[in-house]
Structure 1
Amino acid sequence: MAKTYKQLKEAWVSGHTGGSVADVNSVSLAMPLSILLWSVIQSRMRLFTPYTPGPCLVDFLLNCGATLFATTIYSSSPWVLNMLLLFPAAILYALEKPAPPKREAPRPPRKTNSEKETKLDALPVKPFITNYRGAMMIITCIAILAVDFRVFPRRFAKVENWGTSLMDMGVGSFVFTAGVVSVRSSLKEGTDRGPPLSNRLLASFRHSIPLLVLGTIRLISVKGLDYAEHVTEYGVHWNFFFTLGFLPPFAALFQTAFNLVPSYAILSFTLAAIYEIALDWTSLGSFILIAPRTDLFSKNREGIFSFIGYLAIFLAGQSLGSIALPRQQPTPKNASLISMLRQTTLGRLAVTSIMWTALFYFSTSYYGLRLSVSRRLANLPYFLWVSAFNSYQITICCAIETILFPNLYKATTKDEELQRSRDATSTILYAFNRNGLAVFLIANLLTGLVNMTMPTLHMSMLQSMAILIAYAATVTGVAVGLDFYNLSIKL
């Protein structure tokens, strides 16, 4: 019996086993290498200052085009693309000297009571965080549509039960990077003088409502339009917007626990470990994987229980944010390697990356716990994999910034530092980061529109790439347009 097109689409995204961790690493390395090439061009040539249509096209090709090609045409030979990005960066870095800024922020006139205006922020804007979050948003937006085309390899699609894939990492990274920036408010308040729990919960619920509304709208539209869906991903009714919506209030509850155990890393690992014990030592794991869907709870068990793992990932992101966001204190010129690892942002990020990576390999290795990664369960190995991956990617971005923009945080005024920060940040990545959830929502709407109007599974490689490039350009245009008109849509 011939399958309907909807059944073909559902079969296309179901039953996958993924690829290797090394494969995900080599393909996704295109992101920091694109940032590297952009940063070398900017620091050596100041090409992106001022930002005219020509530099905008180069910016798009580097930070959107490279990601799109890495996940499609170059997916079978990722190191060819990686070398195509790395070699020009290395040559330009070796041959060209750093170029002076084309513009400097005007210094405010000296006033006797202007200390507050000129005092540098304790939590400065960090371009490497902005660049990485923007790049993660771009690869997420590209993958949610590209997965519906045959040009996107099946090993990158979400796995059914056990295994690792690029899209599995994308979901976890979205939550991790949200945690990285969410800790800013806690750092501003200080853990001892933070607002009471009731105030934190009220503020978090206000942040959650738009996301829960979006989740409800998505649920109604998917059911109403008979859209192809993958039930074992989150359940019958649950979707990713519900997961994102419930994170803020639960994170607010863990802020209280932070006063008792002042380490987000320990809190996150403890939560993931307790959840893993429940999965392995009780019938919870088998319930999530094979139980019949008889009521509302059992129909949405994947979304409900995987939320515990995503909450742990969010807390791990907060742990890294508490390292990455504060201003780095000056270090002595002749400091030892141990001192550098302890005192510098880059050193502490590197140690964090090594820690999460070691724990991940211990949890999955033959001589360790011998556990398998499962995005469907969001189990301990998945939590550790996401934490390790994002930590080392952010560490690479921090190293790029440290080497290529060494004077970034040596400004004398806040305005001057903000100007230097913008000059060290890709405008496209800044725009994607600035309105991340709004752009993600638009990408979801465009994905639905493309899937409802075009037979994506029956398209040639040339047709597929043309549509994906047009889609990437449209989403980028919306993001840059919102930034150009200075619009921030907070969801």
Structure 2
Amino acid sequence: MASPNYKARKEAFVSNLNGGSVWEINEVTLVAPSAMLLWSVLQSRQKLFTPYTPAAYLVDFLLNCGALMLACTLYSSAPALLNLLLIIPSILVYFTSTSHERRTKTPAQKIPKSDEASRESTSEFLPAKPFITAYRGGMLIITCVAILAVDFRVFPRRFAKVENWGTSLMDMGVGSFVFTMGIVSARPVLKERFQNSPTLLSKRLIGAMRHSAPILLLGFVRLYTVKGLDYAEHVTEYGVHWNFFFTLGFLPPFIALFQSALNYVPSYAALALLLACTYEAALDFTDLKAFIIAAPRTNLLSKNREGIFSFFGYLAIFLAGQACGMDILTRPISAKKGSSRFSRLRKSILGKLIIWTAIWTILFNLTTNYYGLNLLVSRRLANLPYFLWVSAFNCGQLALFCAIESFLFPDLHKTANKIVEADRVKDATSRLLHAFNRNGLAIFLLANLLTGLVNLTLPTLEMDHIQAMAVLVAYMGTVSMVAVILDAYNVSIKF
């Protein structure tokens, strides 16, 4: 059990009153696409990760885990330099070598009629997208890094979650986790539409509750262990009893209900914006904001007010992620002959991501600008600016990953042969990022357990930078190895 003195010092240490700038957070998170750029260049030009040997795994780990660890620790004051160290080798390798496909070009294969027909199947309608795997895998990795790194002094305080107002790396991480869940949740909706077989509301609710049950159970397990071990926690984060697993667990049933609202609201994005604006109006024109920030904790509602009311903001973020998923999960549509380059870009997945990034960014600036609504971002409230910030950031990140894939692997989906396409997709996907993506929630749970173990056994506040980095490397090495082993044995742990 942690000593009271150590616990008090730790609570004071992890607090963050002001946060960092949005631009700095963008520079740090740009490391993920930069690392993916170098990985993609090495794979497309040199086939460095085929076959996937121990040496290939080590390089994969250094690029996709090591770079992100450095970005939020030792290079936190110079993320631009770290990005250059990744981008410059990418440029050199690209211009000093030829594409591996050109050097090993094989004769054109005849396409069986059975493969042409398979294009009509659901799995072909929703093909695997390496750039989405890279985006989700990178988000999970930096989340796993941050939840432990925040307990060391090598992790800057401006990256920790803010108290009331402001932006930080960990605030973005929480919202991004929910946004990516929304992207994935679009898949069953698209399947329903493709098969023209809508699900009854009652059946949808039963399925959602079945999906929520194990996540809510994890929430109660975390609550019991945190209280039982007297583990350091910040009450203003979610409340006395609430935690992030409860937020995740209550999302599916509410999403099942909101899907019925699409009969009246044209899109998930419009529904998300309507919900976020309604919640913001309740914050600004009633006493709700004052209640969440300053009310005494006298009953179950007031004790957990942050988690309960911020849920509406996270629900809007989830719906925005679902709207994004509806656009990017389906097979790319071939442009008509004779259409302009701008028209082709606008109708492409990359074009749609750029448009949505611009829309969410403009709305974010309008709500936070002095000549607009002049609102402040608050992860604690999960208010309208926070919703818009998370949506703009994630669409922008996806656009970067999509641009890298489109440039270096342009022929991924330009074949009617599903076997050839599967090989191309596998070739363009990091094995490590695929492993994180495949068992994301299970790996996140493992990271939480290891974080608790480290905090209960090591004096993290007293460790210098070298000791802290050694612990972080061992921790991420363990997490990534478990993820890769589960993937190697074809194990998928679903909650």
**Which TM-score band (shorter chain)?**
over 0.9
Distance 1:108 1:477, change over 3 A: farther
1:115 is matched with which residue?
117
> Does structure 1 residue 392 correspond to structure 2 residue 393?
no
Q: How many residues align?
A: 489
1:300 is matched with which residue?
304
Structure 1 outlier segments of 4+, above 4 Å? 101-104, 107-114, 117-120
1:35 is matched with which residue?
36
**Aligned with residue 250 of structure 2, among 230, 246, 250:** 246
Secondary structure of 1:190 counterpart: helix
Q: Give the residue type in structure 1 aligned to 2:489.
A: Y
* Cα contact 1:435–1:479 (8 A) shared by 2: yes
1:328 is matched with which residue?
332
Structure 2 CA distance, aligned partners of 1:109 and 1:35?
32
TM score, norm. by length of structure 1: 0.96
> Does structure 1 residue 423 correspond to structure 2 residue 432?
no
* Cα contact 2:134–2:433 (8 A) shared by 1: yes
| Percent of paired sites with the same residue | 61
1:401 is matched with which residue?
405
Give deviations 1:336-362, integer Å, cap 9, x for gaps: 244124311111111011000111111
1:371-390 aligned within 5 A: 371-390=375-394
**Aligned with residue 257 of structure 1, among 251, 255, 261:** 261
* Cα contact 2:115–2:418 (8 A) shared by 1: no
Give deviations 1:85-141, integer Å, cap 9, x for gaps: 11111121222221129899xx89957798348967011111100110000000000
TM score, norm. by length of structure 2: 0.95
1:69 is matched with which residue?
70
1:19 is matched with which residue?
20
1:408-487 aligned within 5 A: 408-487=412-491
Query: More deviation in 142-151 or 190-199?
Result: 190-199
1:125 is matched with which residue?
128
Give deviations 1:172-224, integer Å, cap 9, x for gaps: 00000110111000001018641011111111111100100000000000000
Distance 1:397 1:333, change over 3 A: farther
1:145 is matched with which residue?
148
Deviation at 1:420, TM superposition (A): 1.1
Query: More deviation in 416-425 or 334-343?
Result: 334-343
2:204 is matched with which residue?
200
Structure 2 CA distance, aligned partners of 1:168 and 1:389?
12
* Cα contact 2:147–2:451 (8 A) shared by 1: yes
* Cα contact 2:116–2:416 (8 A) shared by 1: no
Structure 2 CA distance, aligned partners of 1:337 and 1:149?
50
Deviation at 1:43, TM superposition (A): 0.5
Distance 1:335 1:118, change over 3 A: closer
Structure 2 CA distance, aligned partners of 1:113 and 1:130?
25
Q: Give the residue type in structure 2 aligned to 1:122.
A: F
Query: More deviation in 358-367 or 448-457?
Result: 358-367
Give deviations 1:141-187, integer Å, cap 9, x for gaps: 00000000000000000000000000000000000011011100000
Secondary structure of 2:429 counterpart: coil
Distance 1:113 1:471, change over 3 A: closer
**Structure 2 runs not aligned, ≥5 long:** none
Deviation at 1:260, TM superposition (A): 2.0
**Aligned with residue 315 of structure 2, among 308, 311, 317:** 311
1:46-57 aligned within 5 A: 46-57=47-58
Structure 2 CA distance, aligned partners of 1:371 and 1:154?
23
Structure 2 CA distance, aligned partners of 1:336 and 1:175?
36
> Does structure 1 residue 45 correspond to structure 2 residue 46?
yes
Give deviations 1:55-98, integer Å, cap 9, x for gaps: 11000000000000000000001100010011111121222221
**Structure 1 runs not aligned, ≥5 long:** none
